[in-house]
Amino acid sequence: TPMILFVGQIALTDRGRGAFQEVDYREVFGGLAKWATEIESPERTVEVVERAFATALQGRMGPVVIALPEDILHADGGPAPIRPVTPAKAGLDPAFLEQVRARLARAERPLLVLGGSGWTEEAAAAIGDWAERIGLPVALSFRRKDILSNDRPNYAGDLGLGCNPKLTARAKAADLILAIGARLGENPTQGYSLFDRARTAETLIHTHPGAEELGRVWTPLVSATADNSLAALALSTIEPGRTWHDEAAGAHADYQAFSTPVPVTGAVNMSECMAHLGEVLPADAIITNGAGNFAAWLHRFYRHRACRTQLAPTSGAMGYGYPAALAAKSVHPDRDVICIAGDGDYLMTGQEIATAVQYGIDVIVVVVDNGTYGTIRMHQETHYPGAARTIATDLVNPDFVKYAEAFGAFGIRCETTADFPAALQAARNAGRPALVHLITSAEDIAPNRTITGLRSQ
């Protein structure tokens, strides 16, 4: 995500003296941001800011941090205006497209993998229509489920956490992987197990906006540095001379079966609740989430039907979902924006409900309360089973309905699957920020997994 972060800094004259709140921001953010710098001369302000925008927007987009020393803030930097930055975006050349066409023409079991950010709706639709027309199965990368409608007849699922085993097997058996924009890191490659290093030099074609991602882990047959949308528009013109509709139908049938609600032990079935969201919300509803096992239910059972409808942290950051929902609703006030948050996840940033009330940002948050840090608890139970060996994962939560009401928001409690549709509708009708307190059982620690089952393994 392109972002410019301006951070206050102590005066240059006090640097190195241990002044109050002195921080070396180059050191703090140097390994996280695309560029971390400090303005040390007022005359260079325009230069630094223009470079910051160019850096944030080009290649693999990302954050830039600019520290602003206090004495620089009071200095006159001159009248020079900051000019708009038009980032350079690379496309695909005809020779590359011919290589892709020729390799596709020989493929028996191809798989298209789409990922990354910066997709335009036009480009997503173009490559989606192309892949559907030729029957090319499509998988989406980790937390990129909104690039294409999940209802397309060639949609195979997403390569995320808790991936469909049949999709994993399909990817491993593919004789051609066409990856556009996806970073082929740990999560989408299922712990680096999805591809055979000896085969990728013959089976992987990879494009990405950042050259540093090409060949980082897997050596491709051919690769290109290209903007995701420009690459998609160019690839959608290829005519491989054959189709794979049977492969596509099988892949989509596997996805549909995997995304069908499953039984649980508790009174609330999260798979049915997430499926209900997909049934009643408009296609352009924006869904946000943070990090935790609760998100596995959302990603598996909610079917995205439109581009740019998912905001989810590929970094796995807890607390992301609610602030992201406020931002999305501020930009798109006429669209439904729903945040799905775990109890521990929500309490990282839940106080931002005050911001929602203050500015009339009418988002809905569904707080999935199982009284535990679910992901950590699952790993503890997997590797060290038994209640006596779980450490620091139990939560003592507030009454989330009263919490919401204390800020002036609407709150409603839900303790059964049957009550969820009415609770959601009440929140949608509230006319103000709303919170649905959804009580779930920690026993249902993940789809198709229970704590009892983990302990018996």
Q: Are residues 246 and 309 in the same domain?
A: no
How confident is residue 440, by pLDDT bands cut at 50, 70 and 90? very high
Percent of the chain with pLDDT over 90: 92
pLDDT per position as a tens digit, 122-133: 999 999 999 999
Rounded to whole angstroms, how far apart are CA atoms 284 and 307?
A: 8
Angle at 285 between CA 281 and CA 291, to 5 degrees: 105
Q: What is the pLDDT of residue 83?
A: 86
Do the beta carbons of residue 310 and residue 277 sit within 8 Å? no
Do the beta carbons of residue 205 and residue 100 sit within 8 Å? yes
Instruction: Indicate which CATH number applies to the domain containing 369.
Output: 3.40.50.970
pTM, entire model: 0.94
Rounded to whole angstroms, how far apart are CA atoms 225 and 185?
A: 17
Average pLDDT, the chain: 96
pLDDT per position as a tens digit, 343-385: 999 999 999 999 999 999 999 999 999 999 999 999 999 999 8
Indicate the number of domains in the chain: 3
How confident is residue 321, by pLDDT bands cut at 50, 70 and 90? very high
In this structure, what token pair is assigned to residue 313?
């942290």
pLDDT of 4 > 80? The answer is yes
Residue 276: half-sphere exposure toward Cβ, Cα within 13 Å: 15
Rounded to whole angstroms, how far apart are CA atoms 1 and 56?
A: 8
pLDDT per position as a tens digit, 144-188: 999 999 999 999 999 999 999 999 999 999 999 999 999 999 999
Expressed as residue numbers, the domain containing 452 is 260-456
Q: Are residues 313 and 444 in the same domain?
A: yes
Q: Is residue 86 part of a domain?
A: no
Q: Are residues 146 and 126 in the same domain?
A: yes
Q: Are residues 294 and 158 in the same domain?
A: no
Q: Are residues 14 and 104 in the same domain?
A: no
Q: Are residues 189 and 270 in the same domain?
A: no
Q: Is residue 79 part of a domain?
A: no
pLDDT per position as a tens digit, 88-129: 889 999 999 999 999 999 999 999 999 999 999 999 999 999
Q: Are residues 137 and 31 in the same domain?
A: no
Give the mean pLDDT of 245-272: 98
3-state helix vs strand vs coil in the chain, percent to 5: 40, 15, 45
Q: What is the pLDDT of residue 455?
A: 93
Using alpha carbons, list the distances in angstroms from residue 399 to 54, 223, 365, 411, 439: 46, 53, 15, 10, 11
Q: Is residue 447 part of a domain?
A: yes
Q: Are residues 191 and 61 in the same domain?
A: no
Q: Is residue 78 part of a domain?
A: no
Rounded to whole angstroms, how far apart are CA atoms 439 and 456?
A: 25
> Looking at 242, 257, 272, which one is the last position of a domain?
257
pLDDT of 80 > 80? The answer is no
